[in-house]
């Protein structure tokens, strides 16, 4: 994701993986894209202002689930953890 060049709605709905979806799914995916873009920008700004968070402040808070309620797994079949700063 390029956090410095936002994809606008007219360009977003022309993407191959988006163009054939129903409009409500296109809107949901664009909203998710904007949310993730803003999070990435916020993290980048925080990193520029404060530096990286210390790994010792992370704690496991659960597993990440896909919309179909199956766990997301890595190539070695281990689950992807969700972490939060303490």
DSSP letter string, the chain? --TTSPPPHHHHTTSHHHHTS-HHHHHHHHHHHHHHHHHHHHHHHHHHHH-PPPGGGEEEEEE-B-TTSPBPB-TTSPBPEEEEE-
Give the pLDDT band (50/70/90) at residue 62: low
Q: Tell me which of 10 and 80 has the higher pLDDT.
A: 10
The pLDDT of residue 32: 94
Ramachandran region of residue 62, left (φ > 0), alpha (ψ -120 to 50) or beta? left
The pLDDT of residue 72: 56
């Amino acid at each position: 994701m390029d956090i410095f060049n936002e994809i606008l709605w007219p360009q977003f709905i022309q993407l191959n993986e988006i163009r054939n979806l129903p409009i409500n799914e296109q809107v949901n995916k664009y909203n998710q894209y904007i949310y993730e873009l803003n999070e990435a920008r916020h993290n980048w700004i925080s990193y520029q202002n404060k530096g990286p968070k210390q790994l010792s402040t992370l704690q496991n808070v659960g597993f990440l689930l896909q919309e179909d309620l199956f766990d997301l797994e890595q190539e070695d079949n281990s689950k992807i953890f969700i972490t939060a700063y303490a």
